[in-house]
Amino acid sequence: MSENSRELMERAKNGDPQAFGQLYSEVWHDLYRFALYYLQNKEDAEDAVQEAAVEAYRCIKSLREPDAFRSWIFAILTRCCHHKIKTIILQKHNTSFEELEQQGVFAEAKSENPDDKLAVWNALDTLGNDERLVVLLSVVGNYTSPELSVMMKKPSGTIRSQLHRGLAKLKTMLSEQ
Amino acid sequence: MLFFRKRINDDNELKLFAAQKLMALDDRINYPEKLSPNKIAEHIVPVKGSRFNYQRTIRYSAALAVCFVFVVGIVLSLSVLKKADPSAFVNSRGTLSNNNVVQAASTVITAKNYNDVVSAFETIYKDNTAYNRQNTDMGLAVQNGNAKSTLAQAQTDTNLSVSDTSDHSTTNLQVEGVDEGDVVKNDGSYLYTLFNNKINITDVRDPKNMKLISSLNFDNSNAVELYVYKNKLIVVLNCCQSIVSSSDNKTADNSAADKKAVASDSIRIAYNNQTKVIVYDIADRSKPKEFRSYIQDGNFVSSRMIDNYIYVASSYYAYVKDTGKFSAEEIVPKAGENNNYKMIPAADIYIPKEPKNASYAVVSGINTEDAGAAVSTVACVGSAGNVFASLDNLYLTSQRTVYSTAVKAPDANDKSTANSTANNKSTTKSGAAANGAAIAAAAPVQSTTDIIRFHLKNGKVTYTGACNVDGDTKNQFSMDEYKGYFRIATTSNSTEMTNNLYIFDSNMKLAGSIAGMAKGENIHSVRFMENRAYIVTFRTVDPLFVIDLTNPKAPKVLGELKIPGFSDYLQPYSDNLMIGFGKDATESGNMAYYQGLKLSLFDVSDPLNPKELFDYHIGDRGSTSAVLNDHRALLFDKNKNIIGFPVTIMKLAEGAKNDIHAYGNFKYDGYYVMSVDPSKGFTFMGSVTHLVSGKQNDLYSQGLQMQRGAYIGDVLYTISNAKIASSSLIDFSKLGELSLPYSSGTGKYADPALESAAGSAGSGVTAETGAQK
């Protein structure tokens, strides 16, 4: 499979939009999940992913390591999300879960465990921005903590403790259910 | 230090815990259409129709590939030289040769026991030390991608029992008698629709009063496609997603010094899918009853149905430790009924002599009429890309890239893992160094496709051979079988893009080939019709090649036609007429800019001199139709003389009319029906839209984008995620409308078995991998 990706990468780097599209199609669900959980509202999440995709295509030639498309585009997306939080809206304006359901972001609650996802959503909301970021990059983005420390230019100790704190908080909040 | 270690283990557990919790959200996300690869393509691609400048591209990629070789150097050279068949490179340069294809029937063997499988994986691992990282990062994602790009299925039903109306549409199939799954099925009385993991069965016998009869929900899975065969409804799902963690101590982009130290806290969260087939008894359409179900490991790739047997292919990647030592439990895919889900027996696992991919193609044949009939499942080490099935055989492609290098191969890679049936220990491959020289002189990057053939007989799947060709296949239409010969068209992308056609006899031995067609262009569509092949390639104009295959040993290009634009799908109309479905394009220098949709009627009665008789243009740049990527979205009936398809139409603003780069603004989304006449060409008959407001946003948010059309008698049914509308096929007046439950579920027939299966299978895998940590 990785052979496939490498071949695609070569083509994408040469500007082949179809190859890029295929690479993108392999990660877009994860990109959107990540942006949605991080920004917690539909428009910003969609914008961020779209911006990240456009930006990724624009500068794909700068991607040196052919195997790293996934983590590379996640890094771009992270920047786009940051941009949303820091400059455009100044603060995260998250939407309530019910609202999002009405907007069709999520399919409606199942009868079996309607509270479950609400709890997860609210737990994510409770985390600080930085904690939420490292938790999501680690869990959704498949980053390991050494990779996170490279990407976020922070000492690995800092990342590890942020990650641990975030994960531990989630566990505490969600175990009470 | 002890504390530290404990903390790491805690974190890994916490990570798994968080991932599991998040799945409650993941499962419910409606992924926005505007971010789908197709929509994004409209933002990122200023000049899609144009093939970029090849001269530059080629030099660039050559240089790049060389750099790449040095950077990743040793890692690749190990695996590369091994797979590089020198003769394949001869062919890549356009030479016609009968010896250039790996005669692979003898290169794949059956595993005698699990040790064979384990040693194959250990070799793959050794061959490529970057393996763990690539695959944990990309492996699964690629499999998902494949699953999407190859879902070339449809909505048909050849043998109906419910219906007394035989005059109804069926799915647009590649091979008559080989049904393809789709999101809409029509049996002449009921429409079966699958959107958002929900199947709705609608009684449409009275078009003015359509009734939703029953629904099935698949909340914890991703329902991909469905079939209806007599009184059975079959759904294929990607499901039972389980979280697996895999350790990883290689981060490619970082200096390695402190990495070892912190390596132990680096687990990745990855997801493994299973493919599930559920057969429902729908003798009572209002009460579907689960009849049987089957699970196999791996992401769904494609399926077919022949009579009452469904054949399902999935692609399975085994997440493994990075120690290079594996146990059979870790790497052998599982399959079975709910209560009998277990490792596929070694005797049913096939291993190439030189295994390359740390993944499997898994194929099962399931009897949908007899719940007790044994299911036949085989696995082949390799990956699964495009699937073609005739009535007798299923062909599975596995594309990979061969890297050449100037670095001579060390002897280390001379080891062949998989043991041939004759001798049990590794055989030495001689001449690797000599090959190296040949390779060094050849193209630096070369894509190649392995094809595995399985014989299909009453649900029994048997491996019967393999072969290898240069280049990539575009989709299922790139392949065909006729009178025992297998034909395949590919695009090679090495020093220069070229196109090839290969013909194999029934022993999977190369009979004949044409290499080096249409230099600098790539294949947009292929259609095989008995003794002819039609191939559309594109760079700035659309050459339609007509190739004579009457003598399989000597295929011959008869004629070619160059017209503006390109066809992404070719629909045979009669022996000598063909409908092309694609886009118009305007040349500009050595580029071409694609414009609106274009239908062409080609006359190939004089194969030396093919002609475009008529064309029909729809919309401006940016207009699109699902048919461009999915033949199942097309409705074609020659007797009724109709061709129907969903379209999204964009129109240019007045001022931009002459700007070939400009994109149009949204104008319309709906279903178009045209008639085709060999003497008059295309005539617009009518159209139906579900988008009452005319606002593009509502298309996606309210699920009103047109998906499929179907007819029964003189009634046209148009189907979007949220609606079924019926119209007269004579004057297109509206007859009735039914809203389908779009995002809300009644959950009435939610499938409890599915969830319990997800629970048990999922936790099993998690626990297993978790225990390694």
Task: State pLDDT tens for residues A128-151.
Answer: 778 888 888 888 887 887 788 877
| SS3 state at A122 | helix
Q: What is the side-by-side strand order in the sheet with B359-367?
A: B108-110, B349-352, B376-381, B359-367, B309-317, B299-306
Query: Which residue of A lies nearest to B141 if distances are taken between CA atoms?
Result: A26
Distances (CA, A) of B292 to B271, B379, B380, B458: 26, 22, 25, 17
Q: Is B505 buried (19+), middle (13-18) or exposed (0-12) by CB count in 10 A?
A: middle
Report pLDDT for B121. Answer: 79
Answer whether B266 touches A (CB < 8 Å).
Answer: yes
Of B772, B762, B771, nearest to B341 by C-alpha is B762
Backbone angles phi, psi at B2, to 5 degrees: -60, -45
Answer whether B135 touches A (CB < 8 Å).
Answer: yes
Q: Where are the alpha helices (DSSP H) in B404-470?
A: 432-441
Report pLDDT for B44. Answer: 58
| Mutate which: B25, B143, B493, vs A, most A CBs within 10 A | B25
Q: Which residue has the tokens 């220098």?
A: B589
Rg (C-alpha) for chain B, rounded Å, is 26
Q: Do B28 and A117 touch (CB under 8 A)?
A: yes
Q: Do B14 and A26 touch (CB under 8 A)?
A: no
Quote the percentage of chain A above a pLDDT of 90.
2
For residue B606 the two structure tokens come to: 């004089």
Taking residues A67-92, report their average pLDDT.
72
Higher-confidence residue of B693 and A92: namely B693
Residues of B in contact with A148 (CB under 8 A): none
* Pairing of the two strands B542-548 and B485-493: unpaired
**Under 8 Å between Cβ of B377 and B346:** no
For residue B601 the two structure tokens come to: 């009627």
Q: How far apart are CA B507 and CA B181, in angstroms?
A: 29
Q: How far apart are CA B190 and CA B459, in angstroms?
A: 27
Backbone angles phi, psi at B564, to 5 degrees: -65, 150
Work out the minimum CA distance from A144 to partner chain B, whole angstroms.
5
Query: Which residue of B lies nearest to A109 if distances are taken between CA atoms?
Result: B744
Strand boundaries in A51-136, DSSP class E:
none
CA B713 to chain centre: 33
Predicted-complex ipTM score: 0.81
Amino acid (1-letter code) at residue B508:
M
Q: Of the candidates B25, B149, B219, which has its C-beta nearest A121's C-beta? A: B25
Mean pLDDT, chain A, as a whole number?
77
The torsion region of residue B772 among left (phi > 0), alpha (psi -120 to 50) and beta comes to: alpha
B175 strand-pairing partners = none
Q: How far apart are CA B70 and CA B82, in angstroms?
A: 18
Report pLDDT for B477. Answer: 94
Q: How far apart are CA B622 and CA B310, in angstroms?
A: 38
Distances (CA, A) of A26 to A21, A143, B139: 9, 16, 10
For residue A98 the two structure tokens come to: 């019910």
Answer whether A104 touches B (CB < 8 Å).
Answer: yes
Q: Do A150 and B135 touch (CB under 8 A)?
A: no
Element (H, E) at B367: strand B359-367
Of B115, A40, B380, nearest to A48 by C-alpha is A40
Q: If you count residue pairs, one on A and one on B, with CB atoms under 8 Å apart, how many are there?
A: 245
Q: Of the candidates B25, B35, B137, which has its C-beta nearest A117's C-beta? A: B25
User: Within chain B, which residues score under 50 in pLDDT?
Assistant: 1-4, 45-106, 129-164, 247-266, 405-444, 744-773
Quote the percentage of chain A above a pLDDT of 70.
79
CA angle B291, B295, B300 (to 5 degrees): 115
The number of beta carbons lying within 10 Å of the beta carbon of residue A30 is: 20
For residue A81 the two structure tokens come to: 């999300």
| SS3 state at B460 | strand
The number of beta carbons lying within 10 Å of the beta carbon of residue B213 is: 18
**Under 8 Å between Cβ of B348 and B269:** no
Residues of B in contact with A53 (CB under 8 A): 35, 40, 43-44
Backbone angles phi, psi at B647, to 5 degrees: -135, 150
DSSP symbols for B74-94: HHHHHHHHHH--HHHHHHHTT
Of B536, B444, B446, B424, nearest to B492 by C-alpha is B446
The dihedral through the CA atoms of B680, B598, B652, B590 has a sign that is negative
> In terms of pTM, does the model score above 0.80?
no
**Between helices A129-139 and A17-39, what is the axis angle to 10°?**
140
Answer whether A172 touches B (CB < 8 Å).
Answer: no
Of B490, B486, B450, B488, nearest to B472 by C-alpha is B490
Backbone angles phi, psi at B183, to 5 degrees: -90, -10
Q: How far apart are CA B632 and CA B579, in angstroms?
A: 15
| A133-146 burial code (b ≥16 CB/10 A, e <16) | bbbbbbbbbbbbbb
Q: Of the candidates A68, A156, A167, which has its C-beta nearest B15's C-beta? A: A167
Q: How far apart are CA B560 and CA B568, in angstroms?
A: 17
Distances (CA, A) of B59 to B56, B309, B444: 5, 49, 11
> Long-range contact list for B518-524, CB < 8 A, 24+ apart?
B518/B543, B518/B545, B519/B94, B520/B51, B520/B54, B520/B496, B521/B51, B521/B497, B522/B51, B522/B491, B522/B493, B522/B497, B523/B474, B523/B478, B523/B489, B523/B490, B523/B491, B523/B499, B524/B474, B524/B566, B524/B567, B524/B568, B524/B582
The number of beta carbons lying within 10 Å of the beta carbon of residue B562 is: 11
Answer whether A100 touches B (CB < 8 Å).
Answer: no
Three-state SS string across B189-252, please? CEEEEEECCEEEEEECCCCCCCEEEEEEECCCCEEEEEEEECCEEEEEEEEEEEEEEEECCCCC
Q: How far apart are CA B9 and CA A165, in angstroms?
A: 14
**Under 8 Å between Cβ of B60 and A12:** no
CA A155 to chain centre: 21
Residue B458 DSSP symbol: T
Query: Which residue of A lies nearest to B317 if distances are taken between CA atoms?
Result: A1
